[in-house]
Amino acid sequence: MQNLIDTLKSGGTILYPTDTIWGIGCDATNADAINKIFEIKKREKNKSMIILVESEKRLQDLVEVPEMAWEIMDLSEKPVTIIYDNPKGLPKEILAEDGSIGIRLIKDDYLKKLIGKLNKPLVSTSANLSGDKSPMKFSDINQEIINSVDAIAEENHDKISEYSGSSVIRMWNDGRVKVLRE
C-alpha cells in the first residue's frame, strides 16, 4: 500500500479496488493528476468524476452535509455517492459544470486506510476507457489502462465486485433530492 500512497502524494495515478468496481484514482486536490486521469480514460473534461472520503470529518470539511444525506448513508446497504453543491477546497477540474461534486463516504477498511494515509480525498472513476464496460474484476481492465497508470494495488486482484457501481443521489442545498442511479 505504501507504493500507492507515495505515488498519490507525488501527483501520480493509481489503479485500485474500490467498494464497487476497480477504479483509477489520484489526489483529488491535485489538478494536474486529475487531468492525467481524463487523458488515460480518453474522457471529455465535462464528464465529472467522483471522490471518496474515509471519514465524516473529511466529508464535512468539503461540503455542507444535509441531515437527509446522513440518513441515506446510514440506511443504504449498497455504496452510495451523493452529489453536493458548493464544495470547498477542490480544484475546478474535479467539479461538474454546475460546480457540484459527487462524494462517497466509504465503509471499506482497505480504502479507509489508503485515504487516511493519503490524508486527502481520493478521485475515483471506473478503470476503463470512456464508453467501455466497467471492470468487475482486475482481469477485466484494458491493458492500455494498466500501462497508463503510475502504480497498481496488489490487493484483491481475484475479487469480483459485488456492485457494478454505487447508487447516485443528487442533493441540493434547498432540500431537493433526486435519485440518479439506484
The string of pLDDT tens digits covering residues 105-145 is 999 999 999 999 999 999 999 999 888 988 989 999 999 99
Q: Coil, strand or helix: which one is 3?
A: helix
CB 121 within 8 A of CB 28: yes
Per-residue pLDDT at 85 = 93
Mean pLDDT of the chain: 93
For residue 2, is pLDDT > 90? yes
Calculate mean pLDDT across residues 71-90.
Answer: 94
Q: Coil, strand or helix: which one is 175?
A: coil
CB 179 within 8 A of CB 169: yes
Give the amino acid at 25.
G
For residue 59, is pLDDT > 90? yes
- Torsion 51-55-61-65 (CA) sign: positive
Backbone angles phi, psi at 169, to 5 degrees: -125, 130
pTM comes to 0.94
